[in-house]
Amino acid sequence: MSLAEYRRKRDFARTAEPEPGKPMPRGKRPLFVVQLHHASRRHYDFRLQVGDALKSWAVPKGPSYDPAVKRMAVEVEDHPLDYAGFEGDIPKGEYGGGHVARFDTGTWSSEGDVEAQLAKGHLRFELFGERLKGGWHLVRSGKPARQPQWLLFKEKDEFAGELEADDLLEGVTKPGGKPESGNGKRVSERGVAKGKRKGAALVASAPAVSPAARKRRVDWAGRAAKLPGSRERKLKDAAFMPQLARLGEAPPAGEQWLHELKWDGYRILATIVDGRVRLWSRNALEWTDRLPDVATALAQLGLKAAAFDGELIAGQGTQQDFNRLQATLSGQQAGALAYVMFDLLHVDGVDISEAPLRERKALLAQLLAKPPRHLAYSSHVEGEADAAYALAAEQGFEGLISKRADRPYRPGRGDDWRKSKRRDSDEFAVVGTTPGKGARAAGFGSLLLARPDGDGGWSYAGRVGSGFDDATMRALVKRLGDAGSATPSVAITPTQQRELGRGARWFAPELVVEVIARGIGSSGVLRQPSLKALRPDKTPADLGDSDRGPVGRAARGAAMAARKSAKKATKKVAKKPAAKVAKTAAKKATKRTRDDDTAGPVRISSPDRVVYPEDGYTKAEVAAYYDAVMPQLLPEIAGRPLSVIRCPDGSQGACFFQKHHTAGLKRVDSVRLKEESEASGEYLVAGAAEDVMELVQFNALEFHPWGSHADRPDRADRIVFDLDPGPEVAFAEVRRAARDVRELLKKAGLESFLRTTGGKGLHVVVPLAPAEDWELVRRFARGFAESLAAAEPERFIAVSTLKKRPGKIFVDYLRNGRGATAVASYSLRARPGAPVAMPLPWSALPRLTSGAQYTLANTPAHLRRRRSDPWAGMARLKQGLARWRQQD
């Protein structure tokens, strides 16, 4: 039946029941609702979401937990989804007049095609509510009747018993708002209905039906304690960082490797603490409410504490099943889901993460010998890599995950886990859209994609305009909004720009999509791409490591080749007259003779290679620039942990952010510092001019130091406020903002200094002497930014969300934390025009026309003309955050 029948029977001027026509909610799994309806005859209304409506049945006596009891269910008209939230009185004389109260609601699933099962007359399904749980059946009766009649009955499972719907009425209202009494039975504090000893136990406060926990005949903690490397340890009630696989061309050979199927789903981490199950995505978002089926199944294991790693799948977990998984999670279909578990890290107070993987999996296999529904064990083979890879391909899986059987669990990406993918698909960040036409006029034509160049850079990868269904299109339009700029937010070659054409709208990397493509075109963009899926489980930051597929690697290689040919063309372009400023010193830079020893000057190889294609500046001119500004640059970075942006293929090529020392650097020093992951890394430290020039030889264009020194990394000696204007903000407003920030800091007793960023904005820098603890600095910077945004919300914003920034200035305080960096004064930027981050006196602010006003071409002359260093007084200034330290 259609919603037209529902509409025909009701006068919405008289009844408060929801009128059809509201858009279908997205992003939630299909729901069910059971309502107790005091109409002419008291009955229960049983409703299941199928598509954009609620399939509905009237069940006079309500559901029974006894599989032997089959309750008549009369099919009635479909109801709109909003009806699931309806409670109250339908006026007397209207259709269905009487009181409606919600008895139970939740999500539901079915392993088969729901509409096909309904047409056939037998629907098998599961309910995940507070009162109604487990497997159920709806079977159509063969008896002739004016309205189709079905039988509703319980499946024989761990929830089955002798409870009736009327036993579970605690908390449900009847006409007049009084509580229901049902048949006089109630739920005891132990949770079992009096007189109904058989069947499911009830949670006393809900009253919610829970499965009977499996009888624990095994001392799992004792078994775990026998594993090598095990230790007693309390498990935190929080997400943990997952171990990640590094992508390879083929699965590694050797008996020390075990090979698992690469399930095509979402990575899910599970914890049980004090018997409470919680589920987490790989980026630490809680998914417990979205996966009641998995949470219920894990609770049935009967463990007090545990930590699992696994994959959420639909169907068999193959590539063809991935769309089914997404459709289920978004509410488009009521598919059943499963949690395939491949690692066990903690059992009832015993941490086994240091035990060899082979031992951990053996214990997991024992634990899942008879798994509850929705749980599965991810089996493996040891050795036989080629045979396993061939079998995975034959069965429709994406590839293999190969793991060292003798290694512990190590968070983060490393070589102990390897990934081998067989299909040409990869993940990209969405960085823009093209205008929609025709049927897509209200949306967009295609998504613009980017691939990571390293830890910090992005380059254009192409656009995808096919593979979208209506639901995905609507979700993307809502998510992306209408913010953006005509200026590309990622590196793009002139050839790619011409092929793209006009009208593109660009923004910072916003979300992640997975795309299937037929290789890479000559200009370095995807050929015949098609959207495979949105990846809400990942963020653009997740793509900044080596987790790249074959399309991504080919795209990067092709882009490099395309840019090399583009650079040849730029050599023919006449250089700007201002570029001659750097030429005098260029000869000196090219005379450097040796880079294979720490003695003598650094030799700059390939001096004629064009580094800034739009401007024609060469590597020799970049080296000459840094040689010229070394007296000013070196004090800014010397002795500080340092990150650099390296651009081996020039400013418009594949640039990447580097913070760790690397092979080949013979002059640059390093310092071992603890990172957020609690591991340690060798950070770059430049102490002399030759160190800087060696980094320039290694194609470094930008220098980004910490706000602390290497010998005292936990003590900050400066605060940086980055004033970053959003679209449609005039630079005059940025100047005004810098002036206002300075005045507010003065009122707080803090002197500040001005710097252009070489981009759109300005930096306001506050020196600290003596240095302060990073945590205090972070709290102060955040509080200052948020206070400014709260006081003038029409001008300022303290969050980086791109769609909220048009017309406002983002007061970026995030550079004020241990390990965060800000561009150094006098550093070049890898942007067209070769702009420079320039420190200035506050008196120069009114005359400033742009954050990129100073460049490689005009900076040396500017430095020769200026009479004094505008930041000269910084070293003598003594100021701190004593007031805020006392407040803490």
Would you state the structure tokens that stand for residue 691, as one six-digit string? Answer: 């160190």
345: its two tokens: 């890290």
- Closest to 347 in 3D by CA, of 338, 355, 339: 355
Q: CB within 8 A of 481, min separation 6: which ones?
A: 803
What is the residue type of 321? D
CA dist 601 and 631 (Å) reads 17
Residue matched to tokens 């269905």: 96
Contact 432, 486 (CB under 8 A): no
Pairing state of beta strands 31-38 and 530-534?
A: unpaired
Residue whose pair of structure tokens reads 């942006």 in the numeric block: 645
Q: Are 272 and 305 in contact (CB under 8 A)?
A: yes
The type of residue at 244 is: L
Task: Write down the catalytic residue from 55, 185, 196, 262.
Answer: 262
Q: Please give the Cα distance from 312 to 109 (Å, whole number).
A: 15
Task: List, as own/partner pairs, every contact residues 711-716 make where C-beta atoms lie below 8 angstroms and the sequence separation is at least 24, other chains included.
Answer: 711/639, 712/771, 713/641, 713/671, 713/673, 713/818, 714/773, 714/774, 714/818, 715/770, 715/771, 715/772, 715/773, 715/774, 716/768, 716/771, 716/772, 716/773, 716/774, 716/777, 716/816, 716/818
- Quote the CA–CA distance of 492 and 505 in Å, as a whole number: 14
**Taking the alpha carbons of 248, 250, 255, 258 in that order, is the dihedral positive or negative?**
positive
Per the annotation, the verdict on 236 as an active-site residue is: no
Q: What is the CA radius of gyration of the chain?
A: 32
Phi first, then psi: what are they for 717, rounded to 5°? -115, 10
Given a contact cutoff of 8 angstroms between Cβ atoms, the answer to whether 118 and 50 are in contact is yes
Q: State whether residue 664 is helix, strand or coil.
A: coil
Q: How far apart are CA 682 and CA 662, in angstroms?
A: 9
Task: Measure the CA–CA gap between 26 and 18, rounded to whole angstroms.
Answer: 18
Q: Which residues are catalytic?
A: 262
